[in-house]
Amino acid sequence: MNSNESWRSESHTAFDALAPFYERHWGESFFRTSTELFNALVAGRLAPGSRVLDLCCGTGGFAGWLHRQGLQVSGVDNSARMLKRASVSIPRVAFHRADMHDFHLEERFDAVTCMYNSINQTLTNHSVRSVLGRVRLHLRPGGWFLFDFVCDAGFRASWDADEIVRLDDQLCELRYRYDSARGMASCLVSIADLRSGGPSLDFEIRQRPLEVAELRAELSRAGFTVKAIHPVRNSTPEKGRYAVLAKAVAAPPEPVPSPNQRVERRPREPEMAGARFVQVT
């Protein structure tokens, strides 16, 4: 069985397959921007030893940096292979495998970060609402949420390219395409094992553009007030990426069912009074 076949036979996320390439090729590319944004917008608002959650933490480079700033850091990601790399290189950070739409940790944090397009992975309005609701639930009142996102103009400017990354005997081809009419950015990935010559592993990663007005409305609905939204310079895309700092103010809203769950509305029955949704697994 070649590595692509064993990958197919288990339950994995797309980023599991990308994990070895991610570290080598993308791991550093947004790191400096993340640290600059954190220093400019959040660092001065936190006491030493504050609790910070890095959501969609990937291989943990930014979480490790937060830890070195004297913060108590946790990380959440749904890719086991990204997290494995993170916990090997940064053993002092608590990493949790969970989905950003429905993660549940017992802790409440002073700040949550979610960097490098990660929020663009919410593919519907419902999905972004679930994530913001989860983040709000994990923040103490007055806590901070820092994230970046790419809007339509940013995808138009940058998401039409082909790339090839080689790592030992593995060749990873990436084709980035943006369908502006559908508002969907896709990255078609094909990973081939040159040594075995077996079939390539092909999959797609999708992102959706988000817009300032939409996010403002969703943040307010989730119990945040927006403290800053400003363009991010000196990164790719050069235009069309924004950083947002939001503060948790109102009581957390009722949890929004995750888009991963099949949710069924049932007719109201006397014994179900007050139960609006039933989760069907």
Ligand X SMILES: C[S@@+](CC[C@H](N)C(=O)[O-])C[C@H]1O[C@@H](n2cnc3c(N)ncnc32)[C@H](O)[C@@H]1O
Q: Report the residue number, 93 or 100, with the smaller CB distance to ligand X.
A: 100
Give the phi and the psi of residue 124 in degrees, each rounded to 5: -140, 165
x-or-dash string of contact with ligand X, 17-46, rule CB under 6 A: -------------x---x------------
Q: 170-179 and 72-77 as β-strands: parallel, antiparallel, unpaired?
A: unpaired
CA torsion 91-92-97-102 (nearest 10°) is: -170
Quick one: which of 17, 66, 71, 115 contacts ligand X (CB under 6 A)? 115
Using CB under 6 A, which of the segments 98-106, 191-199, 215-223, 232-240 binds ligand X?
Answer: 98-106
CB within 8 Å of 79: residues ≥ 6 apart? 12, 13, 15, 16, 19, 58, 97
Asked if 117 interacts with ligand X (CB under 6 A), we say: yes
Asked if 15 interacts with ligand X (CB under 6 A), we say: yes
Using CB under 6 A, which of the segments 66-74, 110-118, 156-164, 264-272 binds ligand X?
Answer: 110-118
Q: How far is residue 179's CA from residue 156's CA, in Å, rounded to a whole number?
A: 9
Quick one: which of 4, 72, 121, 158 contacts ligand X (CB under 6 A)? 121
Asked if 112 interacts with ligand X (CB under 6 A), we say: no
Q: Report the residue number, 77 or 218, with the smaller CB distance to ligand X.
A: 77
What's the helix, strand, coil split of the chain in %, to 5?
A: 30, 30, 35
Q: What is the residue type of 38?
A: F
Exposed, middle or buried: residue 19 (CB in 10 Å: 0-12, 13-18, 19+)? buried
Distances (CA, A) of 45 to 115, 143, 213: 18, 9, 25
Q: What is the residue type of 17?
A: A
Which region, left, alpha or beta, applies to residue 279 given φ > 0 means left and ψ of -120 to 50 means alpha? beta
Q: Report the site for ligand X in 58-97 (rule: CB under 6 A).
A: 58, 62, 77-79, 82
Kindly state the tokens that stand for 234. Answer: 């000196």
Q: Report the residue number, 262 or 268, with the smaller CB distance to ligand X.
A: 262
Using CB under 6 A, which of the segments 87-95, 116-124, 136-144, 218-226 binds ligand X?
Answer: 116-124
Using CB under 6 A, which of the segments 53-61, 208-216, 232-240, 266-274 binds ligand X?
Answer: 53-61
Q: Report the residue number, 100 or 185, with the smaller CB distance to ligand X.
A: 100
Nearest distance, CB of residue 31 and ligand X, angstroms: 7
Q: Report the residue number, 15 or 159, with the smaller CB distance to ligand X.
A: 15
Nearest distance, CB of residue 273 and ligand X, angstroms: 33
Q: Around Cβ 214, how many Cβ atoms within 10 Å? A: 14
DSSP SS3 for 41: helix
Quick one: which of 41, 57, 151, 248 contacts ligand X (CB under 6 A)? 57
Q: What is the residue type of 270?
A: P
The residues of the shown chain that bind ligand X, judged by CB under 6 A, are: 13, 15, 30, 34, 56-58, 62, 77-79, 82, 99-101, 115-118, 121
